[in-house]
């Protein structure tokens, strides 16, 4: 983990200090790994009965530095520079029927300086590992405020996104709650 911290430091430093930059594939991978590690730490301080990441997932991540399956990571910008926040929220399955493929999920959101990061990990039921899963989320300007860095979708992404989160409205609160409305299966 020390090697990860050292490798990501130059990129993280630029983002935390609000320096606009393009993020290549390697920078996106490093940021995603750091975000998942941080999400596991934040989520790990919760009561054991509320934990999401299994000891096996934590161990595998330590060994491979590869985010768990069904994990996505986004980065955004905060307009204020004095923020420090971290929160892990369990997904609440709104339709816990036999046809719903979601077993469990966790969305972890954290802010450090100007950098906003969100990690979403879900776990499917063992008998529903394939097929489409469409998460429902609260409406919001996510496309203009967040850039997806995991799974890699683009060779290069630009940071910051066109719009920023701010303490002057409910944007950060809504981001923390964006996946709290459950799931729907296709």
DSSP codes, 133-179: EEE----S-HHHHEEEEES---SEEEES-SS-B-TTSSHHHHHHTTT
**How large is the average pLDDT for residues 64-84?**
90
Angle between helices 25-44 and 2-16 (to 10 degrees): 110
- Can you read off the two tokens belonging to residue 38? 């941080």
Return the higher-pLDDT residue of 158 and 96: 158
Cα(67)–Cα(57) distance, integer angstroms = 9
pLDDT exceeds 60 at position 138: yes
């Amino acid at each position: 983990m020390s090697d990860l911290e050292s490798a990501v430091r130059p990129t993280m430093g630029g983002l935390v200090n609000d320096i606009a930059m393009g993020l290549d594939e390697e920078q996106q991978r490093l940021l995603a790994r750091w975000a998942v590690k941080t999400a596991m730490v934040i989520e790990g301080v919760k009561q054991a009965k509320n934990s999401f990441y299994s000891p096996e997932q934590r161990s595998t991540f330590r060994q491979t530095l590869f985010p768990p399956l069904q994990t996505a990571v986004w980065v955004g910008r905060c307009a204020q520079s004095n923020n420090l926040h971290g929160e892990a929220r369990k997904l609440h399955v709104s339709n816990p029927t036999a046809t719903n493929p979601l077993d469990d999920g966790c969305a972890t959101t954290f802010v450090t300086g100007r950098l906003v990061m969100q990690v979403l990990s879900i776990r499917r039921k063992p008998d529903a590992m394939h097929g489409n899963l469409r998460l429902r989320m609260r409406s919001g300007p996510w496309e203009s405020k967040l850039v997806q860095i995991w799974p890699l979708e683009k060779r290069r992404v630009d940071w910051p996104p066109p719009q920023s989160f701010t303490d002057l409205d409910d944007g950060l609160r809504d981001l923390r709650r964006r996946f709290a409305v459950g799931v729907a299966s296709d």
